[in-house]
Amino acid sequence: MSFEDRLQELASEILSEFTTRGLTLAIAESCTGGLATSLLTDLDDCSEILPFSIITYSTDAKEEFLGLPSYIIPDFGSISIECAKLMAEGLLSYDVDIGLSTTGVVGESIEDKLKGTAFIAIAIAGQKTYAKELTLDPKQTRIQLKQEIVKILFEATLQALNMTF
């Protein structure tokens, strides 16, 4: 099975599990640039579980649309576990059951973070937010890194569903 096929399979599993459980999700993507959303919206009936997603590259967008406090980026950086958590949690204010987020470096190193450094987070309404740092192979291309981040995010989401609901 190709990597692309695996991503499509995971997206189908997400759709099936969320539909079966009557749950909704939203996604705040930075480094993945909408890839997670694209994979889900390639599927029929995705609108049943995904009312919206947002790509928040800039600090201003993270603050305005996700409610990140203004001190987070200066204190921790936009590529941090703190930022990823707050991005995912910010989605919950839009009345979804689960918020997913990605932030990281898929190109030139920035904020003293090396290419391949990424963070994912899963916020579940009324529960503790799950977040993880990823250290991926910096020799991979941008698209390979984005695909790997989304794969790990989708796998972690399915694990979280099975532990929570």
Tell me: pLDDT of 111 over 90.
Answer: no
Residue 31: name the closest of 96, 78, 92 by CA.
Answer: 78
On the question of pLDDT at 132 being above 80, the answer is yes
Predicted confidence at residue 36, as pLDDT, reads 98
CB 133 within 8 A of CB 124: no
- Indicate the domain borders of the chain: 3-164
Is 14 in contact with 20 (CB distance < 8 Å)?
no
> What does the alpha-carbon distance between residue 34 and residue 53 come to, in Å, rounded to a whole number?
8
Report pLDDT digits (tens) over 14-31: 999 999 999 999 999 999
- Cα 40 to Cα 65: distance, rounded to the nearest angstrom: 21
**3-164 fold:** Maf protein (3.90.950)
Give the E-state strand segments of the chain in sequence order. Answer: 25-29, 52-55, 98-104, 117-124, 130-135
What percent of the chain has a predicted confidence (pLDDT) above 90? 90
Residue 127 pLDDT grade (very low, low, confident, very high; cuts 50, 70, 90): very high
Q: Structure pTM?
A: 0.96
Q: How many CA atoms lie within 13 A of 46 on its CB side?
A: 19
